[in-house]
Amino acid sequence: MRTFQGAYTALITPFTSDGSTVELERLADNIRHQAAGGVAGVVPCGTTGESPTLSDTEHREVVLKSVEVAGSLGLAVIAGAGSNSTRHAIELNRLAHAAGAHASLQVVPYYNKPSTEGLYRHFMEIAESCPLPIVLYNIPARTGVSMSAGLIERLAAHPNIRAIKEASGSLDLASEITRRTDLALLSGDDTLTLPLASVGAVGVISVAANVVPQKIAELWRLIDAGDGSAARALHGSLFPLAQGLLSLATNPVAVKTAMHLLGRDSGALRLPLCRPDPATGEAIGRLLAASGLRPVELVA
């Protein structure tokens, strides 16, 4: 079993220009780009992959293609398999297992706002559904509910629950997780990757890696090597880009726009998400240029 160490890319899902169809060959190209950048693995069908807009058939196709391409390149695959329906999450978890994913990513159920006991039962039923390792995903800004340290400690007792993607922004909660459990802690926020590493995180599931995989991978190489000075310098240089990709527009609007500006078009966003207004698009272009990248519109 993989250790969840290092940089994982939260993959965008490329669509056709009208958003009607998933572009599987563009997905494969992006995975190859990630492998060339040195990341440890990829995470399809998560928040960045617009998973709520995928049909079950599309979800299956994306996971299968990701496993096929990533596996041939030596990358791990953590397949997004979460849902706000426990029954549906179990189906997606079993799908990920059958497809050959190394683990599934299970987000806190969104919209329902379940109790702590409801969350416990939700994740435990998924963990019992098949032997696939599970990465819990705590992102209260998206789900309206945050996992407590006590709940995470209870869940960590299940042998199939191996890791947690922590995206609450709380270093206190991250510290409690590493103090009270043996779960692999993964940063769910590029701007907090280095701070979370200081309290025991072993990797990151990165949005920015869609744009700069080599730099995200290098950051974790420096962290693993114990080179704090170089890691802080790289963190500082990455910070404006990482912050902008998550603040200029709702994820994945900014990162898909950035990829388009860099000549790596990923097609349309699916409603209710849409392309940003011109001012925001220009701001994303300036952000890329300031980060040493070359947006094609600005180059032209």
What one-character-per-residue DSSP string does 232-265 give? HHHHHHHHHHHHHHHHSSSTTHHHHHHHHHTT--
8 is catalytic: no
Q: Of these residues, 65, 110, 137, 256, which one is catalytic?
A: 137
Residues 43-63 have a mean pLDDT of: 97
The closest of 213, 217, 174, 211 to 192, measured between CA atoms, is 174
- Expressed in angstroms, the distance from the first to the final Cα of the chain is 47
Q: Please state, rounded to an integer, the average pLDDT across all residues of the chain.
A: 95
Residues 8-25 have a mean pLDDT of: 96
Residues 217-221 have a mean pLDDT of: 97
Span 222-234, pLDDT tens digits:
999 999 999 999 9
**Pick from 25-29, 191-195, 263-267: least confident:** 263-267
Q: 96 pLDDT exceeds 70?
A: yes
According to the model, what pLDDT value does residue 2 have? Answer: 56
Q: 146 pLDDT exceeds 50?
A: yes
CA atoms of 189 and 291, how far apart (whole Å): 18
Residues 124-140 have a mean pLDDT of: 97
Q: 296 pLDDT exceeds 80?
A: no
Residues 83-88 have a mean pLDDT of: 97
- The structure tokens 């995928």 sit at 54
Q: 261 pLDDT exceeds 80?
A: yes
Q: Give the contacts of 270 (CB within 8 A, at least 6 positions apart).
A: 15, 19, 50, 53
Residues 143-163 have a mean pLDDT of: 97
Please give the single-letter amino acid code of residue 165.
Answer: K
Q: 199 pLDDT exceeds 70?
A: yes
Mark residue 293 as left, alpha or beta (left: phi above 0; alpha: psi -120 to 50; beta: remaining). Answer: beta
According to the model, what pLDDT value does residue 116 have? Answer: 97
Residues 32-59 have a mean pLDDT of: 97
| 169 band by pLDDT with thresholds 50, 70 and 90 | very high
Collapsed DSSP state (helix, strand, coil) of residue 201? coil
My answer on whether omega of the bond before 109 falls inside 30° of 0, hence cis, is: no
CA 82 to chain CA mean position, Å: 12
Domains detected in the chain: 6-227 (3.20.20.70)
Residues 127-140 have a mean pLDDT of: 97
According to the model, what pLDDT value does residue 297 have? Answer: 57
Collapsed DSSP state (helix, strand, coil) of residue 172? helix
According to the model, what pLDDT value does residue 1 have? Answer: 44
Predicted TM-score (pTM) of this structure: 0.95
Query: Tell me, what DSSP letter sits at residue 156?
Result: T
137 is catalytic: yes
Q: Of these residues, 8, 65, 165, 215, which one is catalytic?
A: 165
